[in-house]
Amino acid sequence: MNYDFIIVGAGFAGLVLAERISTQLDKKCLIIDRRSHIGGNAHDEYDDAGVLIHTYGPHYFRTDSERVQSYLSQFTEWLPVNYEIRSYTRGQYWNFPINLNTFEQYIGRASTREEFESWLDEHRIRIDRPANSEELILAMAGPEFYEMFYRGYTVKQWREDPRNIDPEVCGRISIRTDRNNGYVSERFQALPRDGYHVLFDNMINACGGNADLMLGTEYEDVKSKVFCKHLIYTGSPDEYYEFALGKLPYRSLRFARQSFDANELFEREAIAGKKGFWQPTVQVNYPNDNDFTRIVETKHITGQQCDVTTIVREYPQDYSDGAEPYYPVPTGEAAAIYRKYEELAGLERRVTFIGRLANYKYYNMDRVIEKALDCFERMRKMI
């Protein structure tokens, strides 16, 4: 079998490149993925209870990039969403990320932005250049909020003290002194109206006869049987190089689903504050209680109208054989291993490494799409 391009991985990185190469260059691609579906980690599906869930954890699409928004809009209509979450600790649900509402819950009375700002100023620890996640949050919010919302969550998530974790990990979550309850700050926040799986089907369909798909297939098992002029690899670089320079560390996750029908929901609806729901918002973090980090109820954001619901508890796991590599580990040690693979990859002329695994970086979806579009523009110039 001969192709112009073989693309390993049918996530956003692989699919954007397949679509561009097929439609703009009229070249033939083979897309290979070990999973039984396209879409990578952003895949969604209807579960056994008929509820649309995000299979590999909640995927909140958001972007500040007009280019990414308009590229994806060729393949989907949008459902605008305001992503709101809560954090559960000390027996109650708190507004999170921390804002003026959280502060009022904490002091037990109404307050003002000015009062909260001066409280923060008094409680923050002066650290000029925070070198890790603990120092960053202590410098932004002080020890009390660090203990309530950050420390336990980070330890559970990474099995590592926040002191050993890069500052940008906890720094991704903003601390606000107004009443904005939004989880994220990007200009455009929306989900594909009919689900990510329909968006991905539309991308593949756009490729027409120029793209073949091999699902449930390990690249390793077919690489001596399929040939191409150029390989696009969106998997882990250590795996590609057969772990020659060591194993890249990852964190993995276990997802435990539980569905409820209308009768079972009866008692929870008061807590959720909405009929047909189990919890108050799409995501509730559990920084200090239980073994899971969060519970996700996607029905809050998909717009699905039904009287059943599904919640998913997320348990961080060590990454061992058979587990999925979800999160690159944000430590200096891991970055040093990656840099060695990056050097090797830089010598390749007929292989492009792109995507979240290949670049060993926590990229949001919009960033991966942007990088894939840039990569395509570079390739187009070379052909």
Ligand X SMILES: Cc1cc2nc3c(=O)[nH]c(=O)nc-3n(C[C@H](O)[C@H](O)[C@H](O)COP(=O)(O)OP(=O)(O)OC[C@H]3O[C@@H](n4cnc5c(N)ncnc54)[C@H](O)[C@@H]3O)c2cc1C
Binding site for ligand X (CB under 6 A): 8-14, 32-35, 40-42, 56-61, 218-219, 234-235, 239, 253, 326, 355-357, 363-366, 368
Q: Are strands 227-233 and 351-353 parallel, antiparallel or unpaired?
A: parallel
Answer for the pair 260, 307: CB distance below 8 angstroms, yes or no. Answer: no
Supply the minimum distance, in Å, between the C-beta of residue 190 and ligand X.
12
CA atoms within 13 A on the CB side of 218: 4
Provide the minimum distance between the beta carbon of 371 and ligand X in the complex, in angstroms, as a whole number.
9
Q: How far apart are CA 26 and CA 207, in angstroms?
A: 9
State how far the alpha carbon of 44 is from the alpha carbons of 170, 298, 328, in Å: 27, 10, 22
- Residue closer to ligand X by CB (options 85, 138) is 85
Q: Name the minimum Å distance from CB 125 to ligand X.
A: 30
Strand order, beta sheet including 2-8: 211-214, 29-32, 2-8, 227-233, 351-353
Q: Cβ(33)–Cβ(215) under 8 Å?
A: yes
Instruction: Find, among 168, 353, 144, the residue nearest to 248 by Cα.
Output: 353
CB of 339 to ligand X, least distance (A): 19
Output 89 or 364, the one with its CB closest to ligand X. 364
C-alpha distances in Å from residue 352, one per residue of 275, 344, 345:
49, 12, 8
Q: Which CB atom, from 40 or from 152, has the smaller least distance to ligand X?
A: 40
Q: How far is the CB of 110 from ligand X (least distance, A)?
A: 33
Measured from the CB atom, the residue of 80 and 273 that comes closer to ligand X is 80
For residue 209, what are its two tokens? Answer: 């006869």
What SS3 state is found at 16? helix
Give the integer Cα–Cα distance in Å for 341 and 346: 9
The answer to whether the peptide bond before residue 97 is cis (omega within 30 degrees of 0) is: yes
Q: Are 337 and 245 in contact (CB under 8 A)?
A: yes
| In the complex, minimum distance from the CB of residue 212 to ligand X, in angstroms, rounded to a whole number | 14
| Min separation Cβ 10 and ligand X, Å | 6
Nearer to ligand X, 12 or 103 (CB): 12
Q: Which is nearer to ligand X, 141 or 253 (CB)?
A: 253
CB of 19 to ligand X, least distance (A): 13
Nearer Cβ to ligand X (58/195) = 58
Q: CB of residue 58 vs ligand X: minimum separation in angstroms? A: 6
Of 57 and 182, nearer to ligand X (C-beta) is: 57
Q: How far is the CB of 327 from ligand X (least distance, A)?
A: 6
373 vs 15, 33, 240, CA distance in Å? Answer: 11, 20, 23
Beta carbon nearer to ligand X, 119 or 241: 241
Cβ-count burial of 15 within 10 angstroms (0-12 exposed, 13-18 middle, 19+ buried)? buried
Return the DSSP state at 149: I
Q: Which of 1, 20, 22, 15 is nearest to 208 (CA)?
A: 22
**Residues in contact with 108: Cβ distance below 8 Å, sequence separation at least 6, in sequence order:** none
Closer residue to ligand X, CB minimum distance, 280 or 355: 355
